[in-house]
Homo-oligomer: A and B are copies of this chain.
Amino acid sequence: MAANNRAWFAGREILALNLVSSPGSGKTTLLEHTIRDLHHERKLYVVEGDQATAHDGERIRAAGAPAVQVNTGTGCHLEADMVARGLRELQPAAGSVVMIENVGNLVCPSMFDLGERAKVVILSVTEGEDKPLKYPHMFRAAEIMILNKIDLLPHLNFDVSEAIALARTVNPDIKVFQVSARSGEGLSDWYAWLRAELSKAREAAFA
């Protein structure tokens, strides 16, 4: 089913990303800011995964992107068939970006392929530098680490270089963006990466 999603995304030249993190690390705020800054140049759609509530879907729609909310009940992660059902409802345009916001959980979502181009793990600086070592499966599965809430660094004992070094001990190739999804600081590097990946999605459609 994940392979099916992946082929469908390729055929439609869609860039699909699977956003994973602890609860409260700022995934939805990152998406809101990204949508506000990029929706004039590219259509974005969001599949929102949560155990319960429709809050995040509403926040995303208020930011300007279509969203479908998937509630997993007691489930701890999204699965590929839930995403497929969400896509049928969302009907994302060709050449668009589909962001899949997974259930907040640094453990289970690491083991489930949804057909995404890449997993993007968000780590907020309030969570401590050691998380990549303590949840190695997630940081190994991710291609990108977004270090969020850097606006709070002056109030914390958080060592950015140590956090990055620890992430690279479990995943030497992980790419890191340091951002504040609240203030917008650092987001331009994330946007540049998104634009580059969108071009690759277009080229890969016929590869």
A residues with CB within 8 A of B: 22-25, 50-53, 55-56, 74-76, 103-108, 111, 124, 126-128, 130-131, 133-137, 149, 152, 155-156
Nearest residue (CB) in B for A151 is B155
Whether A133 and B22, one on each chain, are in contact in the complex, defined by CB atoms closer than 8 angstroms, is no
The A contact surface, by secondary structure, is loop
In the bound complex, what is the Cα–Cα distance between A52 and B110 (angstroms)? 14
Whether B130 and A76, one on each chain, are in contact in the complex, defined by CB atoms closer than 8 angstroms, is no
User: Closest CB of chain B to A22's CB: distance in Å?
Assistant: 4
Contacts of A128 in B (CB 8 A): 24
In the bound complex, what is the Cα–Cα distance between A76 and B127 (angstroms)? 18
In the bound complex, what is the Cα–Cα distance between A128 and B181 (angstroms)? 14
Whether A55 and B24, one on each chain, are in contact in the complex, defined by CB atoms closer than 8 angstroms, is no
